[in-house]
Structures are given as structure tokens and as C-alpha cells.
Amino acid sequence: MRSRHRLIALLGFAALLIPSFVWAQGLPLATATPAGGGATNYSLTVQTLLLLTALTFIPAAILMMTSFTRIIIVLSLLRMALGTQTSPPNQVLIGLALFLTFFIMAPVAERVYTEAWQPLQENKIDFAQAMERAAVPTKKFMLAQIRDNDLTLFADLAKTPPVEQAEELPLRVVVPAFVTSELKTAFQIGFVVFLPFLIIDMVVASVLMSMGMMMMSPVIVALPFKLLVFVLVDGWTLLIGSLVKSFALP
């Protein structure tokens, strides 16, 4: 129950990011003009409209700053290696990736909740201080996954001044470096996942050619063997366990 409440609080904290920024900057959410007959016309300001539209980018930003990217890519590559086309369906893969993300990010969410969200609710700190505190554990998690060469690349591209510790780098450098590192790691894991199924495909294709059955698709013949091997080795448990352990938790 506490975890569910904390998840709701964190999602609400993210959803209030841009509206709170609007209030902090003193921008009016709407303007009212008198109309005939004692009526009033209400309209949104252009700044508010643009900022509220930017709310649609918050889910993408949150997903790119968590473990979701690596997990969903590896699961997609697994489905391609099995050759099952649309099974498991996209909804199942995304749902599994989301719940694994919640599991992996639980320590980070715990720190954000206790260090940023709770003091903000109790009016002990303002919104700007809450955002600074929430960025600390999130940045620490991302830095634990980033390769040094990726971090150096984006730091040079951003022309940031030299820092003694990586934690001092801004998020505009850490986030793209994190995404790039996650893509590299996901494809490395996907390569390892692909290898045993590729061997099965090659063996089946060689057997069919030696038997003169060149008109039969090796993919169709190899599919039940790949599914059998994957089930016998308890592939889902091995893959999910390896995915979770592949993240370096701060």
C-alpha cells in the first residue's frame, strides 16, 4: 500500500512539474475579458498553452531517464530472435518492461519520496528545492550506468567547464549520455540473447538442405525447437534475472 501511494505521489510530482513552473514564473493560466450582457470570455495565454502542451513530453522524459529503455529493447530483440513475430504482443512487453522498471527504480523512488516529495507536501521546502533534491538520486542512478566515454563526449559537445565529480554535471549532459550508454548495453545483451537461437536456425537450415527440403522454410521448422529450448532452460527467469542484475544500483 505504501509503495502504491509513493508511486502515485511521484507521478503527481512529475505531472505538476510544468504547471508549477508556470505558477512560479507568475504566468497567468487564463485571461478573462468582459463580454456583452454581463458575460465573461476566458482564453488561455500562448505561454500557458505551450507549456501545457509540453506535458505530453513528460512520460517520454521519465521513461528515458529510467531502466525502461534497456529492458524494452532486450525484450524486443528476444522476440525477434525467437521468430514469433507478434507473440508476446507489444502490450505485454511494454507492461512487463514497466513493472520491471518500477522494481528497479524503487530505491530511487524511495529517496525522491522521502527527500523531496514529503518535505514539499509539509511545506518545509519550496518547489525549486524539491526539484533539486529529486534530481540528486535520479542523476546518481544514471551516472552508475553511463560509460565514461559517453559522458566525456556529451560534456565536450556541451562545452561544460571541467568538474571534479560527475555529479556536478548538468542533466542536459547526463541524460543523453545515459540514453546512449543504455542503447549500447541493450544491444550487447541482445547479441548474447540472439546467439543460441541463431545456432538453432543454422542447424535446422543445414539439415533441411542436406535432406533436399529446400522449399520448406527453416524459420517455421526451427520455431518449435527454439521455443522448446527457451522453456527447458527457464529462459524468462534467466533473462529477467540477468536484466535486473545488469543495472548498477548506486
Name the percent of the chain lying above pLDDT 90. Answer: 10
Q: 124-133, 199-208, 233-242: which has the minimum mean pLDDT?
A: 124-133
In sign, the C-alpha dihedral spanning 127, 133, 134, 138 is positive
- pLDDT for 33 equals 58
Helix (H, G, I), strand (E, B) or coil at 31: strand
pLDDT of residue 191: 92
Q: Rounded mean pLDDT of 160-185? A: 86
pLDDT of residue 170: 83
Radius of gyration of the chain (CA): 24
Alpha-carbon gap, residue 182 to 175, rounded angstroms: 10
Q: Which residue type, as a one-letter code, is found at position 61?
A: A
Averaged pLDDT for residues 95-117: 87
Cβ(218)–Cβ(208) below 8 Å: yes
Here the cell at position 68 is 525502461
Q: For all residues of the chain together, what is the average pLDDT?
A: 78
If pLDDT is split at 50, 70 and 90, which confidence band does 206 have? confident
Distances (CA, A) of 18 to 23, 131, 180: 9, 12, 26
User: 42 vs 25, 45, 54, 86, CA distance in Å?
Assistant: 21, 10, 21, 48
pLDDT tens sequence across 17-68: 444 444 444 445 455 555 555 555 555 555 566 666 666 777 777 788 888 9
Q: 10 Å Cβ neighbour count for 43?
A: 11
Q: How far apart are CA 64 and CA 68, in angstroms?
A: 7
pLDDT value for 248: 77
Q: Regarding predicted confidence, which is higher, 132 or 185?
A: 185
Per-residue pLDDT, 52: 66
Positive/negative CA dihedral, 182, 188, 191, 193:
negative
Give 1 or 188, the one with higher predicted confidence.
188
Closest CA to 136 of 120, 164, 160, 116: 116
- Do residues 133 and 114 make contact, with C-beta atoms less than 8 angstroms apart? no
